[in-house]
């Protein structure tokens, strides 16, 4: 193949995975990455832990820029904002001037941005989002310069809960405000969120079904006003979700999918020839339903970038889709899922049966055992496992095992007879996942 010019918009997980893959397969090609911030290969998932004070902000880059430039030969441009995309070229603003670069292949890997609600006072000093590593720096610097006792977090999703934990751990008075009737409503069934809410109420002021009307203060934020009350606030986090950055793709006429993210096929190709998309800006398909979904999570983003880079460089590979496997925690309570919840499965037209069990992570005679709750969802027609949700302790091995089982098309009988490891220091003789399969019947 002749030498090609590859332009990648975005230097996050997907962008750098794509760039690295192209250079690995086609070292002679010209690969340019344009990243609007000064952070590359960054880890937004680490923001709450920087704010909590348990992770240094410098470590939010998996690799420093020099690794990509010197070791991998990528032409990396930081603080370089792509302002226009057209057939065969992009226009970039960097170092105070605009310049055009030509491309033979283009990758949109420019991620997603916070959804900012239209609330008065959203621009007051002390109001932050928690989307990119610079946010972690801004929040920690603000706390160093100002006395912060009361923190209000608006939102009830993953990032809201993780930021709430960070401030609770720092000894702040935290209020968590959400419009919905329960936390994590879009990703978990009620049995799971009931346990999460009980834990939250022990550590913070949980205000559900309250709409935020205004953020108020003179020189900086002082309070948050909802239709249910007023709450003191020395610092506010807006954690009300994200939206894919599709504006540049629209300039090129790239098809936007039904989810609102960029439509892609299994090779991460968009509707425009030689143009690819990967990561939080791209939609994909659900491995169970085959439907188009937008589930912006880091492991899939990295793999999408790898697939896009491989196909650009001539090594064909397909991205099979996602199960939406995810995990988080609040204090010592772990929360995770894979596959479909009961409500998602019913909405998709499945005839399901479910089970919700409570178990221990170790035999009763061995010290250190903790409680774990599992919910399983099964297709009545095929007996196949559709989804598992977990809350409690040591949930990761159960969620990961379930993800592998669902990918492989396991029935409840297959799950039951899976030969999982046992020894008293690690698990009970009947692992909670096996008990779940037994209760679900086969």
Question: Which residues have a catalytic role annotated?
Answer: 45
Question: How far is residue 26's CA from residue 15's CA, in Å, rounded to a whole number?
Answer: 16
CB neighbours of residue 141 within 10 Å: 11
C-alpha distances out from residue 418 to 176, 218, 404, Å: 41, 62, 12
2: helix, strand or coil: coil
Question: How far is residue 71's CA from residue 57's CA, in Å, rounded to a whole number?
Answer: 23
Question: How far is residue 133's CA from residue 26's CA, in Å, rounded to a whole number?
Answer: 31
Residues in contact with 276: Cβ distance below 8 Å, sequence separation at least 6, in sequence order = 18, 105, 106, 107, 108, 264, 267, 268, 269, 270, 308, 311, 312
Residues in contact with 14: Cβ distance below 8 Å, sequence separation at least 6, in sequence order = 109, 111, 278, 279, 280, 281, 282, 301, 302, 304, 305, 308
Residue in 330, 268, 263, 260 with CA at minimum distance from that of residue 300: 268
Q: What share of the chain is helix, strand, coil (3-state, %, to 5)?
A: 30, 30, 40
414: helix, strand or coil: helix
Is 208:257 a contact under the CB 8 Å cutoff?
no
């Amino acid at each position: 193949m002749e030498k090609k010019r590859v332009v990648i918009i975005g230097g996050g997980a997907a962008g750098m995975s794509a760039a690295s893959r192209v250079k690995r397969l086609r070292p002679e090609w010209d690969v340019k990455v344009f990243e609007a911030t000064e952070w590359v290969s960054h880890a937004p998932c680490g923001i709450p832990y920087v704010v909590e004070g348990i992770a240094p902000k410098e470590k939010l880059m998996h690799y420093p820029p020099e690794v990509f430039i010197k070791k991998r030969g990528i032409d990396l441009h930081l603080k370089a904002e792509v302002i226009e995309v057209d057939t065969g070229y992009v226009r970039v603003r960097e170092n105070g001037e605009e310049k055009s670069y030509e491309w033979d292949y283009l990758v949109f890997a420019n991620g997603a941005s916070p959804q900012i609600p239209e609330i008065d006072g959203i621009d007051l000093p002390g109001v932050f989002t928690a989307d990119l590593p610079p946010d972690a720096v801004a929040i920690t610097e603000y706390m160093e310069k100002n006395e912060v006792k009361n923190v209000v977090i608006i939102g009830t999703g993953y990032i809201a809960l993780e930021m709430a934990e960070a401030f609770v751990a720092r000894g702040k008075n935290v209020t968590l405000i959400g419009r919905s009737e329960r936390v994590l409503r879009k990703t978990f069934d009620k049995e799971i969120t009931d346990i999460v809410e009980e834990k939250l109420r022990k550590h913070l002021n949980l205000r559900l079904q309250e709409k935020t009307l205004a953020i108020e203060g003179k020189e900086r934020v002082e309070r948050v006003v909802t239709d249910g009350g007023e709450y003191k606030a020395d610092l506010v986090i807006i954690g009300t979700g994200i939206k894919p950055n599709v504006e540049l793709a629209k300039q090129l006429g790239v098809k936007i999918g039904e989810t609102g993210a960029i439509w892609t096929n299994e090779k991460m190709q968009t509707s425009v020839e030689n143009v690819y998309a990967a990561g939080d800006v791209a939609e994909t398909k659900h491995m169970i339903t085959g439907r188009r979904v937008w589930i912006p999570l880091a492991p899939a983003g990295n793999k999408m970038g790898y697939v896009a880079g491989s196909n650009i460089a001539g090594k064909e590979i397909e991205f099979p889709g996602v199960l939406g496997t995810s995990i988080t925690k609040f204090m010592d309570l772990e929360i995770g899922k894979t596959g479909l919840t009961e409500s998602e499965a019913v909405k998709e037209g499945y005839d399901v049966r479910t089970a919700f069990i409570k178990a221990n992570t170790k035999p009763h005679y061995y010290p250190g055992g903790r409680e774990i709750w599992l919910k399983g969802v099964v297709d009545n027609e095929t007996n196949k496992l559709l989804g598992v949700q977990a809350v409690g302790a040591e949930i990761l091995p159960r969620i990961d095992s379930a993800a592998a089982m669902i990918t492989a098309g396991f029935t409840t009988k297959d799950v039951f007879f899976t030969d999982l490891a046992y020894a008293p220091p690690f698990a009970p003789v009947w692992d909670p996942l096996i008990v779940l399969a037994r209760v679900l019947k086969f």
